[in-house]
Amino acid sequence: MKFKKYLSHPIIVYFTAFLLPFTILFFVYLSQGIYWGSETSPLLGDGFHQYVIFDVTLRNILHGTDSFLYSFTSGLGLNFYALSSYYLGSFLSPFVFFFDSLSMVDSVYLFTLIKIGLIGLSTYYSIKGIYPKLQQFLILSLSTLFALMSFSISQIEIKTWLDVFILAPLILLGLHRLMTQKKRVLYFTSLTILFIQNYYFGFMMALFLTLWYFTQISWYFKKRISSFFDFTIVSILAGVTSLIMIYPTILDLRTHGENFTKITRTFTENSWYLDVFCKEFNW
């Protein structure tokens, strides 16, 4: 009985929510010959060509050998502050301070495992807050499945995007508290951080939250419609607060950004009618 009570202690449960996806991915990596100091690298695609290079640059900045505002590591130089909003927007980025250029690959390996664990932890906390009557085992299962779903694992190549999956459950929990308890702090804080860390996912989250909010109030319209003003104002304030990062990025993209290819028709000779459907499943 005492042992069962010990296992149900909140600290143990939250640690388990972190450890389960962490351990599963650890053994998946190990099965592919990827571990701390291994010859096989966890770097993929842009992670190899871009992200780890910017990690080294950030490490040099933190050690005082470069500037966070402007860097001459590329061509005639670039606005590193604006660049960091896309490539370095992560809770764990400052910890590259403790690595050197030779061990930076190991930092990517370690941070990826930690982020997957944090996704499980934040998801457990959020589901527990929104659905407190659900059984503990079910919540642990759902949080682990969310952390290891194909969409999140496919983002391992672009490691900073994993932070989005840490924040998304907290944003939904914050929105739930805003609608049901008039509590605004968690929603404002988590949404602002997401906008600052990843404007790319930020606009998609803004669209999703708008649709999700109206879906939520449609279920309990009379009780929740009073939260409309709070939802609107807090969301706008989160966007305005994040301009400290987004606005310099917009200015930089206007100068150095690439233009999209003009779309002249819906389908080309290389596309098929079900391609759009397949893209929704990340195939």
Write the pLDDT tens digit of every residue in 204-232. Answer: 899 999 999 998 888 877 777 888 889 99
Q: What is the mean pLDDT of the chain?
A: 83
What's the pLDDT at 281?
63
**SS3 of residue 78 by DSSP:** strand
What's the pLDDT at 3?
46
How confident is the model over 62-90, as a mean pLDDT?
A: 72
**Cβ neighbours around 26 below 10 Å, total:** 17
In a domain, 266, yes or no: no
In a domain, 279, yes or no: no
Number of domains forming the structure of the chain: 1
Q: Do 228 and 217 contact (CB within 8 A), yes or no?
A: yes
In a domain, 100, yes or no: yes
Statement: residue 268 has pLDDT above 70: no
Q: Which of 82-96, 119-133, 257-271 is least confident? A: 257-271
Whole-angstrom Cα distance, residue 59 to residue 40? 23
In a domain, 6, yes or no: yes
278's enclosing H/E stretch is helix 275-279
Within 13 Å and on the Cβ side, how many CA atoms surround 29?
A: 26
Statement: residue 119 has pLDDT above 80: yes
In a domain, 264, yes or no: no
| Phi and psi at residue 71, to the nearest 5° | -130, 140
**How sure is the predictor about 64, in pLDDT bands with cuts at 50, 70 and 90?**
confident
How confident is the model over 73-101, as a mean pLDDT?
A: 77
DSSP for 72-127, written as a single string: -SSTT-B-HHHHHHHHS-STTGGGGGG--TTTHHHHHHHHHHHHHHHHHHHHHHHH
In a domain, 269, yes or no: no
Residue 145 or 66, more confident: 145
Please give the structure tokens belonging to residue 227. 């939260």
Statement: residue 29 has pLDDT above 60: yes
Predicted TM-score of the model (pTM) = 0.84
In a domain, 223, yes or no: yes
Q: Residue 83: give the domain boundaries.
A: 2-258
What's the pLDDT at 2?
54
How confident is the model over 161-178, as a mean pLDDT?
A: 93
In a domain, 170, yes or no: yes
